[in-house]
Structure 1
Amino acid sequence: MPAEPRLAAGARLALTTFTTLPVRAGRIDRAVAGTAMALAPAVGALLGALLAGVLLLTGGFAPPLVAAAVTVGAGALLTRGLHLDGLADTVDALGSYRRGPAALEIMKKPDVGPFGVAALVVILLLQAAVLAELAEWSTSTMLTAVVTATAAGRLGVTVACWRGLPAARPDGLGALVAGTVGPGTLAAGTAAVALLALAAVPDRPWQGPLAVAVALAAAVGLLRHVVRRLGGITGDVLGATVEVVTTVVYLGLVLSG
């Protein structure tokens, strides 16, 4: 049987990595992993459309804050909560002030420490607050804003897999995807998300791309700190990057709105 084409295999891997959609995993190697990380923003846009639908439907019979909370919960369910788990583990490791293997060992523990709990509470509250605000916007603008933020969050993963960023461990998701994204791929993904962001705040078309730029700058800062402390990226770091970038874009879209 001929090998599955890299694009198709990458799309499968992207869907199984970033969502709970019932897609069977296919061929997996570093070439396919690179394609999957390149397609991450597209998967994020699909997920964002689903979440916008949840917000719109729930907002039809529930107060905005309730609809927002349901949407945040749906996001966790559609991603198995992996990104939130990665955020908690990463913050716990960084908050321990340990380095290298000692910090990585903290990330592997199944429990969540106080730093991780605080990070989860803050991120979830901010996302719910922003979604409650977006629920009051027009349907088309709300849809674009949610899709933009969710796609940008997965673009953060593409940034994290930039060539030159090492893996912290010799195995695991980080080792599979680290360094698999080249400059052309990253530029194309960034341009696509920035173009989408132009329509996220119609009265101020510059605000969406600016929010994306600030969020990606925050991701670069986080990744540089992680490499210094841990020695490289891990699957948990990818999850943390998703949540940080998504939340910063959400905030950037509603500030002064």
Structure 2
Amino acid sequence: MSVAVVGRSLRLSIGMLTALRVPAVLTVSPGVATGAMLLAPVAVLPLGVLVGAIVWAGGRLELPALAVAFTALAALAVGSRALHLDGLSDVADGLTSSYDRERSLAVMKGGTAGPAGVAALVLVLGAQAAALTAFVSYGGEVRSAVLAGATVCASRAALWVTACTLAPPARPDGLGVTFTRRVPVLVAVVGWVGLALLSVLADPVRGPVGVAAAFVVVAVLTAHAVRRFGGVTGDVFGAGIEVALAVLLIGLAGA
């Protein structure tokens, strides 16, 4: 992959996954699309820094940990234009609306949040916030804040699974055609193994276990989406990210 392709891939990934303004990538080749998926954890580094800074400042000022956690998650939602949360809500509604594939896809495309979508948002955001409180260290310990930010970045590796070559697009148009089936399965597995090895620096037991659990949950979600919808959509991508973040935060809480 050339330097030019890497640069375009990174710009594309930043533009899709954050609210940061970057020069638009007008032509998305297969190589650029693959690179955008692989570089997702790097692309959201500014968001990881933002979350880490809020967690650190909240601990330094000895603010209520739960309030700090919700503030950090609110900033993360704004920084990502809440797209992943929207995907989580849509997938929950699609999975519970009907066993008919076309009906489920229509519900997901509708854009309104039903009872299942609202419940999914409350439960997943609640789990994220509850776990994130463990990263708020009174006295402002930098290590906990760095780990919180790193977890945000690592959660975007969910795209390596949802965009792997085993998951076809659910629709013949839209986001799925461009970004699905871009990441080789071996690359996805090796990438997550690398994350597990890095997590040993946080905790030699809870780190790898948390990463493994996040990988399994995202893989199960992706497989279920393929079975129910006939493939994956951009909403499944977002849902995978949010679920991965929740599992990683829970697994690494207090590490």
Structure 1: distance between partners of 2:250 and 2:118: 21
What is the letter of the counterpart of residue 238 of structure 2? G
Contact 1:144 1:200 in 2 (8 A): no
Distance 1:13 1:232 in 2: 23
User: Over aligned residue pairs, what C-alpha RMSD do you find?
Assistant: 2.0
CA distance in structure 1 between the partners assigned to 2:193 and 2:11 by the alignment: 23
1:1-257 mapped onto 2 (5 Å cutoff): 5-26=4-25, 27-61=27-61, 62-136=63-137, 139-201=141-203, 205-254=204-253
1:141 and 1:199 in contact (8 A); partners too: no
String of CA shifts for 1:109-153, please: whole Å, max 9, x gaps. 121000000000111111111111210276343134313422232
Helix, strand or coil at the partner of 2:49: helix
- Output the amino acid matched with 1:206: V
Give the stretch that moved more between structures: 76-85 or 118-127: 118-127
SS at match of 1:98: coil
Farther off after superposition, 177-186 or 135-144: 135-144
TM-score, length basis structure 1:
0.91
1:184 Cα deviation after fit: 4.8
Kindly provide the CA deviation profile for residues 165-217 of structure 1, in whole angstroms up to 9, marking residues without a partner as x: 1000111112211101124532443244223312223xxx1211110111110
Q: Which runs of 5+ in 2 are unaligned?
A: none
Query: 2 CA distance for matches of 1:231 and 1:144?
Result: 39
Opposite residue 108 of structure 1, the aligned amino acid is K
Aligned-pair identity in percent equals 36
Deviations 1:48-107 (CA, angstroms, capped at 9, x unpaired):
222111221233332211111110100100000000000000000001133321110000
Q: Output the CA distance in 2 between the equivalents of 1:179 and 1:244.
A: 21
Partners of 2:3 and 2:175 lie apart in 1 by: 21
SS, match of residue 57 in structure 1:
helix
| CA distance in 1: counterparts of 2:235 and 2:66, whole angstroms | 29
> 1:199/1:143 Cα in 2 relative to 1: closer, same or farther (>3 Å)?
farther
Aligned residue pairs: how many? 251
Q: Distance in 1 between matches of 2:70 and 2:202?
A: 21
TM-score (norm 2): 0.91
